[in-house]
Structure 1
Amino acid sequence: MQPRLVALAGAFALGLAATPLAAQDADTVVATVGGTEITIGHMIVARQTLPRQYQQLPDEVLFPGLLDQLIQQNALAQSLEDPTKATQLTIENQRTGLLAGEALGMAGQDAVTEEAIETAYEDRYAEAEPSTEYNASHILVETEEEAQSLIGQIDEGADFAELAREHSTGPSGPDGGALGWFGAGMMVPEFEEAVMALEAGEVSPPVQTQFGWHVVKLNETRMADAPPLEEVRAEIAEELRQQAVEARIAEVVEQADITRAEIDVDPAILSDLSLVAE
């Protein structure tokens, strides 16, 4: 922060001292540039757009620099008598984008209530039967021949985890091929089918998936009850939010008076920046 800005802010703050704190709100004017008012509200929202490291600065340090930035920004904007068409269109897009974002944010926020979360949890898990979860390990290689060779070594007494560390090309290799616990639908179909066909401690024949060839070992299974609400609260809240957002989009689009121009447009025109350069 430059010393002259701090001094400017100090002098400005003395001027504000005459205004009772209780009377200051988002509409309180802190500066005027060419007749355009800069308010505390402008400063508050401008702060939210700053990089995180600047937002963490103390208020007394941030205030003068932010005020100076808005003064300069307004002065420069007013000096531009004829902005390009690209700038004008960008402003329009940003305005509608901000308003649309606020509309969707409100829709999502209204949908995520404690009652809605609890209802969604009950609907999903109240009558859910305990499900089987699997704990498995695998060795991922490029060819079926490699997989078959590893199975032969395992049959002869080689340690599965050691072979995985030595040969597996998958991210679980360094962990001995351990995949941890997972339920139905969490693995690709071919892999899941192979796991479900195994008994605990058994090793599969070579299994081909989009990732390569697997040697799979089922370590153990367990029956999993419904998770507690707190464990899935964030997931349910996000689902409710997304459902509300999608429903709101569909609703407003259906209600809006929309007319699509019946003209043929070459998609390549999107790259013609000369159309918005003036």
Structure 2
Amino acid sequence: MYNSLKIASLVAGLALPASMALAEGHGDIAADTVVATVNGTEITLGEMIITKAQLPQQYQQLPDEVLFTGVLDQLIQQQLLADTLEEVPSRLMVALANEERALRAGEVVDGIYQNAVSEEAIQAAYDARVAEMGDTMEWNASHILVETEEEAAEIKALVEGGADFAETAQERSTGPSGPNGGELGWFGPGMMVAPFEEAVTGMESGDVSDPVETQFGWHIVKLNDTRMQEAPSLDELRAELTQQLQEAALQARLDELGTTAEIDRPEDGAFDPSIISDLDLLED
């Protein structure tokens, strides 16, 4: 779990979406084609493409001619304002360093993710998952919930004497399933409290249990049917398996890099942890 959290924090917001990847060219036009200049500073087509791709989704739907003009105006205005900044504050230098680190790391992460996933790898992961699941029994049951063992024994006798289980549940059960004839539907291992699951495990379809005590009260249980749980399809697990393969590949690469890198970390107590919230340190 800890490694998963580290990975999630690492990749969040790092990699540029595939739609932001710059093509080698569009005819005679390439990403480094200069579209405009501001006081001698060039604004390239690639910068416009990335700016457009980072816009909120509602703006992405605008016509290209509107977006082209709007994005170019935005970059020109930003450059006009940027040119008036005579001295770069230290906090901006720190932010730029963080941004570059994040983008470079994101580019590597994107490559690791692409190489980690193939149909063969997903199929192998799926086969392993299904093998781990094994055959799992599911039960379909109904119950009548009452407060005392005496009431439960009385209901058991009524049902054995021919009383309809569903009608009796509607009349006597204090549980929320009572109005539905006590029906609980299908459930698998671990979905019911232990005494209840233990009761149905030893029953055959159509059997009615002796009184079963749980923290909710006393139950009379009728086992309606059983079935073997079907394994989910590959498509149902594809997204989860893809994420697991990607995270495993990223963690493996991080472990590999960590064994050869020279990393110096502060000793415990070297810094007051609250210092990370001191924004005044970023002021010149």
The TM-score normalised by the length of structure 1 is 0.69
Give the match for residue 215 of structure 2: 207
SS at match of 1:265: coil
Q: Is the 2:195–2:213 contact (alpha carbons within 8 Å) kept by the matching residues of 1?
A: no
Give the match for residue 276 of structure 1: 282
How far apart, in 1, do the equivalents of 2:218 and 2:66 lie? 59
User: Which amino acid in the other structure matches residue 90 of structure 1?
Assistant: A
How far apart, in 1, do the equivalents of 2:187 and 2:177 lie? 21
Quote the RMSD (CA, aligned, Å): 3.9
Q: Is the 1:162–1:176 contact (alpha carbons within 8 Å) kept by the matching residues of 2?
A: no
Give the match for residue 147 of structure 2: 148
User: Which amino acid in the other structure matches residue 207 of structure 1?
Assistant: Q
Aligned length: 239
How far apart, in 2, do the equivalents of 1:58 and 1:32 lie? 24
How far apart, in 2, do the equivalents of 1:105 and 1:73 lie? 29
Distance change >3 Å, CA 162–CA 45, structure 1 → 2: farther
How far residue 255 of structure 1 moved from its aligned partner, in angstroms, is 2.7
User: Which amino acid in the other structure matches residue 164 of structure 1?
Assistant: P
Q: Is the 1:136–1:216 contact (alpha carbons within 8 Å) kept by the matching residues of 2?
A: no
How far apart, in 2, do the equivalents of 1:239 and 1:162 lie? 44
How far apart, in 2, do the equivalents of 1:207 and 1:239 lie? 38
How far residue 112 of structure 1 moved from its aligned partner, in angstroms, is 0.8
User: Which amino acid in the other structure matches residue 158 of structure 1?
Assistant: A
CA deviations on 1:29-50 (whole Å, 9 max, x unpaired) are 1111233221111111111211
Q: Is the 1:134–1:182 contact (alpha carbons within 8 Å) kept by the matching residues of 2?
A: yes
Match of residue 29, structure 1, among 19, 29, 34:
34
SS at match of 1:205: strand
How far residue 113 of structure 1 moved from its aligned partner, in angstroms, is 0.5
Match of residue 125, structure 1, among 122, 127, 130:
130
Which 5+ residue runs of structure 2 have no aligned equivalent? 1-24, 159-167
Q: Is the 1:111–1:241 contact (alpha carbons within 8 Å) kept by the matching residues of 2?
A: yes
Give the match for residue 245 of structure 1: 250
How far residue 230 of structure 1 moved from its aligned partner, in angstroms, is 2.3
How far apart, in 1, do the equivalents of 2:34 and 2:178 lie? 69
How far apart, in 2, do the equivalents of 1:176 and 1:93 lie? 62
Distance change >3 Å, CA 180–CA 235, structure 1 → 2: farther
How far apart, in 1, do the equivalents of 2:103 and 2:181 lie? 49
Q: Is the 1:134–1:183 contact (alpha carbons within 8 Å) kept by the matching residues of 2?
A: yes
Q: Is the 1:132–1:221 contact (alpha carbons within 8 Å) kept by the matching residues of 2?
A: yes
Q: Does 1:63 align with 2:71?
A: no
How far apart, in 2, do the equivalents of 1:234 and 1:92 lie? 33
How far apart, in 1, do the equivalents of 2:51 and 2:121 lie? 34
How far apart, in 2, do the equivalents of 1:162 and 1:44 lie? 64
The TM-score normalised by the length of structure 2 is 0.68
SS at match of 2:176: helix
Q: Is the 2:142–2:181 contact (alpha carbons within 8 Å) kept by the matching residues of 1?
A: yes
How far residue 127 of structure 1 moved from its aligned partner, in angstroms, is 8.1
CA deviations on 1:7-52 (whole Å, 9 max, x unpaired) are xxxxxxxxxxxxx961012111111123322111111111121111
How far residue 216 of structure 1 moved from its aligned partner, in angstroms, is 10
Which 5+ residue runs of structure 1 have no aligned equivalent? 1-19, 140-145, 168-174
Q: Is the 2:146–2:173 contact (alpha carbons within 8 Å) kept by the matching residues of 1?
A: no
Q: Is the 2:196–2:214 contact (alpha carbons within 8 Å) kept by the matching residues of 1?
A: no
Q: Is the 1:130–1:224 contact (alpha carbons within 8 Å) kept by the matching residues of 2?
A: yes
Q: Does 1:158 align with 2:157?
A: no
How far residue 166 of structure 1 moved from its aligned partner, in angstroms, is 9.2
Give the match for residue 96 of structure 2: 91
Give the match for residue 105 of structure 1: 110
